[in-house]
Amino acid sequence: MTLIFVLVNELDSRRGKLLKAIRIHHHGGVEQLRHEETADPKLQSPDDVIVHLKAAALNFSDIQVRQGTDGKRSCLPRILGSDGAGVVAAVGSGVKEFKIGDAVCLYPQNGCATCWACRSDHQHLCEQPQRLGEQIDGTYAEYLRVRRQNCFPLPAGLSYEEGAAIPVDYLSAWHMLMTDAELKPGESVLIRGIGGGVATAAMQLALSFGALTLVTAENPEILSRALRLGAKHGIDERKQDFPPEVRRLTAKRGVDVVVDCIGGDSWAKNFAALNRDGRLVSCDASGGAQPATDLRRIFWHHLKVFGSSLGSRDEFRRVLNYVTTNSIKPIIDKVYPLADAAQAQERLAQGQHLGKIVLHEDG
């Protein structure tokens, strides 16, 4: 196979420089995050793209991969990170839609390429997922080889940090609100656990879509920030039982949609916060994965329950268009140098943030 490797200025910039990444060789605590030299990624197929990463955003799944918990034990060593944005540094001979120097953000998952899901461009439904930072090396790196299908133009007006914040969380939030729940302008949405990336993205999308948006948290400071960002009502779950409070705030009607990124024993309470024919979308279970629930409420009240993790490439395209058209700026909590990934993950684990925690390339 003959490949035409287009390696010009970007490659020159890499010569003589030690490329660094954050890689784990064993599962465990933050001490397993090694900031170390890595091999220069090479083009291996005509559809490959080498991306010079300028920013990588954190997800809680990064911590699960590091720990090897929640079914996320990875083949090691592994460079972490599912979210990234940067500049195209090299393209294979089959890549015509991107050229060296283009700013891109990355769709975070590939599939087997042969199953019905992959053939219909629904890689998020593939039974053999290849997610950046999990089954394949990820974005906590200076350079990364991806497929052309992973690359999308960075929306105009966004920084690399903001672009890196979009893929996992805004795609997941879009899939939950627009595809699963079919949110309509003027409907009401309750977003639990505001502060986390998906919840914050869901809040921004719901607000821009004209939904009455209620949020919950266990931190009054985070609730105050969410209200300043446009949420209509904030409920402190440490002090208030949220279903009756939601009823009080919605003239006893309940909300049309609940976004739950928590799970745990309070999960079943979501049903009591929904109006009849309401929709519950669930995307995480950090509070517990096996809550007890009363199924009768689901069919008595004609409720619909959706599970969600990422979305399709077509949905990602829609998200990027929507972000651009509506001038949405992802909310960045804090930015760390790549070398300080351990500090960044510790902040994420503490759960005191609102929006995305981002790594930028080492200066």
- Cα 108 vs. chain centroid, distance in angstroms? 9
SS (H, E, C) the chain: CCCCCECCHHHHHHCCCCCEEEEECCCCCHHHCEEEECCCCCCCCCCEEEEEEEEEECCHHHHHHHHCCCCCCCCCCEECCCEEEEEEEEECCCCCCCCCCCEEEECCEECCCCCHHHHCCCHHHCCCCEEECCCECCCCECEEEEEHHHEEECCCCCCHHHHHCCHHHHHHHHHHHHHHCCCCCCCEEEECCECEHHHHHHHHHHHHCCCEEEEEECCHHHHHHHHHCCCCEEEECCCCCHHHHHHHHCCCCCEEEEEECCCCHHHHHHHHHEEEEEEEEECCCCCCCCCCCCHHHHHHCCCEEEECCCCCHHHHHHHHHHHHHCCCCCCEEEEEEHHHHHHHHHHHHHCCCCCEEEEECCC
Binding mask 286-305 for Zn ion (x = CB under 5 A): --------------------
User: Does residue number 126 form part of the binding site for Zn ion (CB under 5 A)?
Assistant: yes
Judged by CB under 5 A, the stretch of 113-121, 132-140, 280-288, 318-326 that binds Zn ion is 113-121
Q: How far is the CB of 70 from Zn ion (least distance, A)?
A: 22
Strands 212-217 and 233-236: parallel
Of the candidates 145, 115, 146, the residue with the CA atom closest to the CA atom of residue 129: 115
Q: State the minimum distance, in angstroms, from the CB of residue 134 to Zn ion.
A: 15
The distance of closest approach from Cβ of residue 118 to Zn ion in the complex, given in angstroms and rounded to an integer, is 3
| Closer to Zn ion by Cβ: residue 310 or 323 | 310
Residue placing its CB nearer to Zn ion in the complex, 6 or 117: 117
Segment interacting with Zn ion (CB under 5 A) among 68-76, 104-112, 215-223, 234-242:
104-112
| Shortest CB 73 distance to Zn ion, Å | 21
Bond into 153 cis (ω within 30): no
Q: Which stretch binds Zn ion (CB under 5 A): 69-77, 78-86, 114-122, 309-317?
A: 114-122
CA distances from 136 to 79, 147, 350 (A): 8, 12, 27
Dist. CA 72–CA 347, nearest whole Å: 20
Q: Tell me whether residue 107 or residue 170 sits nearer to Zn ion (CB atom).
A: 107
Q: Which is nearer to Zn ion, 111 or 355 (CB)?
A: 111
Contact call for residue 310 and Zn ion (CB under 5 A): no
CB of 131 to Zn ion, least distance (A): 13
115 touches Zn ion by CB under 5 A: yes
Among 7, 11, 87, 112, binds Zn ion (CB under 5 A): 112
- Per-residue contact track with Zn ion, 41 to 80, x per CB under 5 A? ----------------------------------------
Which CB sits closer to Zn ion, 111 or 243?
111
Judged by beta carbon, residue 204 or residue 312, the one nearer Zn ion is: 312
Residue placing its CB nearer to Zn ion in the complex, 21 or 118: 118
Interface with Zn ion, residue 118, by CB under 5 A: yes
Minimum distance of Zn ion from residue 82's CB (angstroms): 18
Which tokens belong to 92?
């294979």
Closest-approach residue to Zn ion (CB) = 126
196 lies in the site for Zn ion, by CB under 5 A: no
Name which position in 41, 86, 92, 111 contacts Zn ion (CB under 5 A).
111
Q: Which stretch binds Zn ion (CB under 5 A): 60-68, 97-105, 117-125, 214-222?
A: 117-125
Nearer to Zn ion, 116 or 299 (CB): 116
Please say which residue, 129 or 254, places its beta carbon nearer to Zn ion.
129
- Where do contacts with Zn ion occur on this chain (CB under 5 A)? 111-112, 115, 118, 126
